[in-house]
Amino acid sequence: MNRKKAVVPSWQYDERAKTGVDYEDTAIAAEYDNQHSRFRDFEKDARMVIQRIDLQPEHTVIDLGCGTGAFVIPAARSCRKVFAVDISPAMLDKCKEKARKAGLGNIETHCAGFLSYKHKGDPVDAIVSVVALHHLPDFWKAVALKRMYNMLKPGGKLYLFDVIFAFPVESYQSELDNWVNGMGEKAGQSMAEETVIHIRDEYSTFDWIIDGMIERVGFKIEQKLSELPYCLTYVNVRL
Ligand SMILES: C[S@@+](CC[C@H](N)C(=O)[O-])C[C@H]1O[C@@H](n2cnc3c(N)ncnc32)[C@H](O)[C@@H]1O
């Protein structure tokens, strides 16, 4: 059999480059659910996503940057198949362990990233990505969005939630201080420190930049919701 190995160009962004929080660290992966459950309700958030993308029992969905499976596990109970994709083996191991314990057999895991995951099956009904896209610098975010567009059926939905800045640039100091302090109050000192790392070393950007990228790759923004000035939800449809 003539199996050609995919050649990765030398200019390709290295998705496993260590910038910001190191999710390949098994200690971070082990503590992730504990840490995050101090300021998130995984089940409630997942129900909201399921409702916003109108996930049906016959649907297939990809979760890109799925982490320990915050969305994957509830989604697998609600639809035909979930493709759980993450660049970190440690995070994916936690997700697999939870799927096993829940007795869910309709989850396919892939250790891959926004820029490397090759979807082999039919185009999917929906893609979900929660607090993950900010790991890519802006140019590569647009490439990732185009790749997601190509994995969806026409009419398919992309649900994107991320740390995206919806405040005017001149108020960045007070907004970022408020975010760090608020996180410290809600989730403790270690999450406040992670927030500092996020701001300093990861690639969150402004909403008007993300709006442009989403539309330029061919999506229609159906909903754009902002509960906080540094978190945004987009529900986009593939035209
Ligand atoms: C903050 S966690 C979010 C995990 C999960 N979506 C959730 O809601 O809890 C960010 C995740 O993105 C993953 N990640 C980072 N860069 C990635 C990339 N280029 N492609 C796919 N996943 C990536 C990390 O390994 C980590 O699991």
- What is the CB-side half-sphere exposure of residue 210 using CA atoms within 13 A? 25
Question: Does the pTM exceed 0.75?
Answer: yes
Provide mean pLDDT across the span 31-38: 96
Task: Report the alpha-carbon distance of residue 93 to residue 222 in Å, rounded.
Answer: 34
The per-residue pLDDT for 3 is: 59
Pocket probe mutation, ligand 1, options 88, 147, 151, 201, max atoms within 8 Å of Cβ: 88
The per-residue pLDDT for 4 is: 66
pLDDT in tens, 117-171: 999 999 999 999 999 999 999 999 999 999 999 999 999 999 999 999 999 999 9
Mean pLDDT of the chain: 96
**Atom nearest to 136 CA in ligand 1:** 19
Q: Does 37 have pLDDT greater than 80?
A: yes
Task: Report the alpha-carbon distance of residue 216 to residue 184 in Å, rounded.
Answer: 37
Distance from residue 86's CA to the centre of ligand 1 (Å): 6
Residue 111, judged by CB atoms within 10 A of its CB (0-12, 13-18, 19+), counts as middle
Task: List all residues whose CB is within 6 A of at least one atom of ligand 1.
Answer: 15, 23, 64-67, 70, 86-88, 91, 113-114, 130-132, 135-136
pLDDT > 90: what percent of the chain? 95
Distance from residue 3's CA to the centre of ligand 1 (Å): 30
pLDDT in tens, 175-200: 999 999 999 999 999 999 999 999 99
Distance from residue 163's CA to the centre of ligand 1 (Å): 12
The per-residue pLDDT for 227 is: 87
pLDDT > 70: what percent of the chain? 98
Task: Report the alpha-carbon distance of residue 38 to residue 26 in Å, rounded.
Answer: 20
The per-residue pLDDT for 2 is: 52
Name the residue at shortest CA distance from atom 8 of ligand 1.
130
* Beta-strand relationship, 219-228 and 152-163: unpaired
Q: Which residues pair with 164 in a beta bridge?
A: none
Q: Does 19 have pLDDT greater than 80?
A: yes
Q: Does 1 have pLDDT greater than 80?
A: no
Q: Does 53 have pLDDT greater than 70?
A: yes
Name the residue at shortest CA distance from atom 1 of ligand 1.
131
The per-residue pLDDT for 18 is: 77
Structure tokens at 50: 């399921």
Question: Domains of the chain, with CATH numbers?
Answer: 26-238 (3.40.50.150)
* Beta-strand relationship, 231-238 and 219-228: antiparallel
